Amino acid sequence: MTPASGPILSETAAALCLMFIFLVPFAGAGLALINTGLGRARSAAHLMMSSLCAVSIAAVVFFVWGFTWQGFQGGPAHILNLGGKGWDWVGAQPLFLRHVALDGSPASLAALLGMMSVGLAALIPLGGGADRWRLSATCLSTALLAGITYPIFAHWVWGGGWLAQLGENYGLGRGFVDAGGSGTIQVVGGLTALSIAWILGPRRGKYTHDGMPTAIPGHNSSFVVLGCMLAMVGWWGLNSAGAVLFTGAGPGEAVLVAINTTLCAAASALMAAVITGVRFGKPDVSLTANGWIGGLAASSAACVFVRPPEAAAIGMVAGALVTLSVEWFELRMSVDDPGGAISAHAMGGLWGVLAVGVIARVPPVGVNATGEAPGQWLAQVIGIATLIGFVLPLTYGLNWLLNRLRPQRVALEGERQGMDLHELGAGAYPEFMTHGDDFSPR
Amino acid sequence: MKFLGFLLLLAGWGIVLTAIVLLAADAPRVAFVLAGIGVEILGLVLVIRAHPAPRGEHE
């Protein structure tokens, strides 16, 4: 029932890790601003309110139930014996964080980082469902994400679960490695955003009679760029805390992590700016911002296992991938994703997870271990197969059931009027009439 | 078609898990893991095709 022992942190490492975790909410603030800026003016207050509610619900559900299933490495868990190997499937912590010494121990730091991370994951689907996702449905969907989808996958990766054990059990590198949550946070959130976008359908007016998409530009690009800057601060903390807590990196390696994170985001944003500049004649702000976030999402998994030039290369690929996939989702798949959440978080995150296997040099576990662990790429591919083959059906199924019980999309009248007036009774900009049809009396 | 697509996604993941548990040699394990991912891609294509392009919603 109790797997191998967990990490041991010095007091300095624990204190620095705590400081890094305190930075993570900046990433949440950044994502909230980006989602709001890329949405319509008449839904701005609603999106910010939804962000606050999603973070709140995620924290409470994770405290009550989520950490029970996520657990931590070395903590109690349900283990199945398959083929003579112990497969750690799900955590078995008591409810309400009981029996976790909240004193700077690795378990308590994992619980705090989990609480912040699940809030971040819960903000990602808001970008995919912007301008049409009801507030109450957002809260219920977030509860499912924080109570079921996120904790299960987080346990497999960060809680000593079967994906993390692939190295120990089957000689596949160091097992699935995801230092800062490219898969655990970004892809899980991004796939939930895809599910939500599919279930809700596109915004009215997004597609013409012949199925061609129309441009519905974001209402405030200043919010979007400010959000990008704030997100970077949060990602420094997220990647550094994850590296220390889940990969055994020393606190001093946070410098490398921060440099890699910055370079990855910068290279990704520049690549997106160049691609859009070449294709459309002028660089596009929203796609460049999506490139920035995609670079951050891609940076997380390998942040402590690559040198700066390799981090920049990961970012360049992420920037190209995100820019092209935004167009692909909108044109080819008819998925209306106002915030670009699916491309930036799911596609960027998947590339980040894969990059650990194809670019990074992950050393084997052990004090004196040197060189590179063989089979790492296969462990990463198995992680990707799990995200697509298990997490996507799970999150889609849960949200589909929720939609059957209580429709998640706002009524037609609400979409015309704007989410702010319809659901909150007041707009974000009551003294401004930014568009002719905003805040129109009904 | 949507249900079948999600079923294929799960089936592909099942093939990947089975390959890890049952196959010890590197080459067959890699081949079956990749085959599982192939099944997942097939499922993904079906799920995508089950969400057709919306038409006639322009205001």
pLDDT in tens, A177-209: 999 999 999 999 999 999 999 999 999 989 988
Put simply, whether A397 touches B (Cβ < 8 Å) is yes
- Of A287-291, A333-337, A367-371, where does mean pLDDT reach its minimum? A367-371
Check whether B31 has a pLDDT greater than 50. yes
* Residue A441 confidence (pLDDT): 45
* Residue A440 confidence (pLDDT): 46
Put simply, whether B42 touches A (Cβ < 8 Å) is no
Confidence of residue B57 (pLDDT cuts 50, 70, 90): low
Residue with tokens 């080819």: A332
Tell me what ipTM this predicted complex has.
0.95
Among the partner residues B13, B16, B21, nearest to A82 by beta-carbon distance: B21
Residues of B in Cβ contact (< 8 Å) with A201: 54
pLDDT in tens, A357-414: 999 988 877 645 556 777 999 999 999 999 999 999 999 999 999 999 999 999 999 9
Q: Show the tokens assigned to A412.
A: 């037609």
Among the partner residues B13, B20, B56, nearest to A389 by beta-carbon distance: B13
Cross-chain residue pair A334–B54, CB shorter than 8 Å: yes
Task: Scan residues 156-175 of A and list those with Cβ closer than 8 Å to B.
Answer: 166, 170
Cα distances (Å, whole numbers) of residue B50 to A115, A300, A378, A407, B1: 35, 33, 31, 20, 6
DSSP at B58: -
Put simply, whether B25 touches A (Cβ < 8 Å) is no
Check whether A6 has a pLDDT greater than 80. no
Average pLDDT, chain A: 93
Percentage of chain A exceeding pLDDT 70: 95
pLDDT in tens, A10-47: 999 999 999 999 999 999 999 999 999 999 999 999 99
- Facing residues of A240 across strands? none
The span from the CA of A208 to the CA of A227, in Å, is 31
Backbone φ/ψ region at A136: left (φ over 0), alpha (ψ -120 to 50), beta: alpha
pLDDT in tens, A148-176: 999 999 999 999 999 999 999 999 999 99
Chain A residue with the nearest C-alpha to that of B49? A333
